[in-house]
Amino acid sequence: MRRYGKHTDEDDIRTRPNRKGNRPRTNIRPKHEDAAEGMVLTVDRGRLTCLVDGRTVMAMKARELGRKAAVVGDRVALVGDMSGAKDTLARIVRIEERGSVLRRTADDDDPYERVVVANADQLAIVTALADPEPRPRLIDRCLVAAYDGGLDPLLVMTKSDLAPPDKLLELYGALDIPYVVTSREELESGDAAERVREHLDGKITAFVGHSGVGKTTLVNALVPEDRRRSTGHVNAVTGRGRHTTTSALALPLEEAHGWVIDTPGVRSFGLAHIDPSRVIHAFPDLEPGTAGCPRACSHDEPDCALDEWVAEGHADPARLYSLRRLLGTRERREGD
């Protein structure tokens, strides 16, 4: 006779003979073990749209979750009506552990951090080369949030039909971040989507940036036509007649080759929660040089060992300059 697990006792085996595929009953099974797995696609005033077994299911948080909030990208366990039929509502009973967390606060003094997106592999930091003007301080802040949250950054520079990317490329060159430059013409020909897509394969990529830089335009160019973000109820029309995004939404790329997440434009990216020691992990060429630093070194003080490390030729001075610019981004104002 076969035993099914170490919690099976003789009694159990006797009363439930060798039925293939049947697990023994134990009283240590997790709560809601028959719950379905889903992914949160969007959240709208307490209603969460989840993908469950290829179906779109509306759900709400079960009371037992307390104050814990599920966000776009979260893997969740659901129970209840999972038919996806109109006016049905499933319940989210568990939020699975997150692989990555993109966090921001309203400003640097705000202790209340919000999770923007969970489980994204990559952060596409979108900046227009003009209209609106690039804001390097905001890009730096998004980079720090990406490094802190465990996401790989990708720089997307849009509207190259309006201004050249040279200055920005110079500023970010030492950081070795992959980047794509796109224009109106390339959007229309499909070239823009093609070149961005090369960086998205098999990944979950969240698109962030200032309002009006072209995130939704790009995301819509990346996904098949029938999956595009509608500009109806999810987007609000601004005073100037432009559609501005009001909620984050995950959209699948063709043939399950990844996901793109469109997010509302941000004016600032507060970093109250950032741990500098996690940022330095993104600089593997500099990290060993911190061994000689004083305790709790800010890496921007006279005794910092990184100056010597760079002077000895172990790393490029431009890299140290970039690291310090990022670490110092909390002390400086965003608008510079």
Q: Which residues bind to Mg ion, rule: CB under 5 A? A: 215-216, 245
Strands 243-245 and 152-158: unpaired
Q: Per the structure block, which two tokens stand in for 241?
A: 């007649």
- Does position 290 interact with ligand GTP (CB under 6 A)? The reply is no
- Please pick, from the candidates 151, 213, 271, 304, the single residue that binds ligand GTP as defined by CB under 6 A: 213
**Which of these segments, 74-82, 242-250, 288-296, 318-326, binds ligand GTP (CB under 6 A)?**
242-250
What is the C-alpha separation between 66 and 113, in angstroms, rounded? 17
- Please pick, from the candidates 117, 120, 156, 304, the single residue that binds Zn ion as defined by CB under 5 A: 304
| Residue nearest to ligand GTP as judged by C-beta position | 265
Residue closer to Mg ion by CB (options 207, 283) is 207
DSSP secondary structure string for all residues of 285-333: TTGGGGGGSPTT--SSSTT-THHHHHHTTSS-HHHHHHHHHHHGGGTS-
- Please pick, from the candidates 7, 228, 244, 305, the single residue that binds ligand GTP as defined by CB under 6 A: 244
User: Which stretch of DSSP H or E encloses residue 140?
Assistant: helix 136-149
**Which of these segments, 222-230, 253-261, 271-279, 294-302, binds Zn ion (CB under 5 A)?**
294-302
User: Which stretch of DSSP H or E encloses residue 103?
Assistant: strand 101-105
- Please pick, from the candidates 177, 264, 287, 300, the single residue that binds ligand GTP as defined by CB under 6 A: 264
- Does position 229 interact with ligand GTP (CB under 6 A)? The reply is no
* Burial 18-46, CB ≥16 within 10 A → b, else e: eeeeeeeeeeeeeeeeebbebbbbbbeee
Binding-residue pattern over the window 157 to 196 for ligand GTP, x denoting contact by CB under 6 A: -xx-xx-------------------xxx--x---------
User: Can you say how many angstroms the Cα of residue 316 is from the centroid of all Cα atoms in its chain?
Assistant: 29
- For residue 152, give the 3-state DSSP assignment: strand
User: Measured from the CB of residue 269, what is the shortest distance to ligand GTP in angstroms?
Assistant: 13
- Does position 247 interact with ligand GTP (CB under 6 A)? The reply is no
Residue closer to Zn ion by CB (options 94, 299) is 299
DSSP secondary structure string for all residues of 199-248: TTTTEEEEEE-STTSSHHHHHHHHS-GGGPPPSSSSEEE-TTS-EEE-S-
Give me the residues that bind ligand GTP (CB under 6 A), please: 158-159, 161-162, 182-184, 187, 209, 211-217, 242-245, 264-265
Give me the residues that bind Zn ion (CB under 5 A), please: 293, 297, 299, 304
